[in-house]
Amino acid sequence: MAVNLSKGQKIDLTKRNANLNNVRVELGWELNNSMGSAFDLDCSVYLLGANGKVGNDKDFVFYNNNTSPDGSVIYGGDNKTGEGDGADETVNVELKRISPAVQEIVFTVTIHDFETRRQNFGMLNEAFIRVIDEVTNVELVHYDLDEDFSIETSIVIASLHRDGNDWDFKAVGEGMNGGLYEICRKYGVDV
């Protein structure tokens, strides 16, 4: 049974699941029925060193760079509409393969072309992130973004933190303005 987290809470992911290695991180959302046009939300992943920044731009995994340098993080593809039930975008992570230099993996979601479309996260319903054990296909952690992000165009949704040989999962839920550009600046990606 999945552990449901609230903003700011964390869980010892690998201590609870001793043999855990391959996980699928899924993000999903539903469009508020009163909003007419489709949303193109994009998941991005930042592999951070001890300084809280990417080592280089290849440590930024997204639709134009779908695999981390060590092959441990693979972006599953860009869903441009968010249509359908369940997960809209996925990221596969092989925990034991992650470079020892990586201390944190941050999962974000941004709205593509938010300025032109005049969109923000307040226009969405039922946004979530969850972690699935790829071997057993069991949902381990679930975090619903039930905060009101009525002006935000990007969200740092969750992160994995290294704790020695173990990994913790934290529900972050930090909204920001400025879309992908601002998040890239925050984590040291050269944009």
pLDDT of residue 117: 78
Q: Using CA atoms in the order 136, 78, 57, 127, what is the torsion angle rounded to 10 degrees?
A: -70
pLDDT of residue 152: 83
Residue 82 exposure: Cα atoms within 13 Å on the Cβ side:
23
Q: Considering the domain 3-186 in this protein, what is its CATH number? A: 2.60.60.30
Record the pTM.
Answer: 0.90
pLDDT of residue 156: 93
The H or E element spanning position 131 is strand 124-133
pLDDT of residue 85: 57
pLDDT of residue 34: 56
Contacts of 129 (CB under 8 A, 6+ apart): 25, 26, 27, 107, 142, 143, 145, 157, 158, 171
pLDDT of residue 187: 96
Query: CA 171, CA 158: separation in Å to the nearest integer?
Result: 5
pLDDT of residue 186: 94
Tens place of pLDDT per residue across the chain (191 aa): 689 999 999 999 999 998 999 999 998 877 665 555 667 788 899 999 999 999 999 999 999 999 999 999 999 865 544 455 567 789 999 999 999 999 999 999 888 878 787 887 777 777 889 999 999 999 999 998 877 777 888 889 999 999 999 999 999 999 888 888 889 999 999 87
pLDDT of residue 21: 96
